[in-house]
């Protein structure tokens, strides 16, 4: 817990030290929708418990969802972080 807090504080401090000319991409309505879908699909694993969906199909679908979330998080990290920030804190949650 203490390590997580220290890492988060260090990341925020490094972010403040970056130049003010760095601009973040703006959140367009399409980006907002994609982010919502990205987060909502994480709860897909609950469907087999409440529907007649087979567990095998649920496992395969959730594996695909986890892989697409991994790619999405990788894209967000590459888009938002400089190389120095990424290597200083590579496992940050977007």
Domain locations in the chain? 41-94
Residue 39 and residue 69: Cα distance in Å, rounded? Answer: 8
For the whole model, what pTM was predicted? 0.48
Q: Quick one: pLDDT band at residue 19, thresholds 50, 70, 90?
A: low
For residue range 28-86, list pLDDT tens digits in order.
888 888 888 877 877 877 777 788 888 888 888 888 888 988 888 788 777 777 777 76
Give pLDDT, residue 2.
46
Contact by Cβ (8 Å): 38, 72? yes
- State the pLDDT at residue 11: 58
**Predicted confidence band at 1 (pLDDT cuts at 50, 70, 90)?**
very low
Residue in 32, 30, 43 with CA at minimum distance from that of residue 69:
43
Residue pair 13/88 in contact by the 8 Å Cβ criterion: no
Mean predicted confidence (pLDDT) in 81-93 = 69
């Amino acid at each position: 817990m203490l390590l997580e807090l220290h890492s988060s504080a260090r990341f925020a401090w490094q972010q403040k030290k970056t130049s003010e000319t760095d601009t973040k991409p703006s959140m367009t309505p399409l980006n907002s929708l994609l982010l919502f879908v990205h987060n909502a699909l994480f709860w897909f694993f609950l469907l087999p418990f409440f529907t007649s969906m087979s567990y095998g199909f649920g496992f395969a679908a959730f594996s695909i969802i986890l892989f697409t979330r991994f790619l999405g998080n990788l894209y967000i990290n590459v888009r938002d972080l400089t190389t120095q920030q990424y290597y200083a804190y590579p496992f940050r949650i977007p």
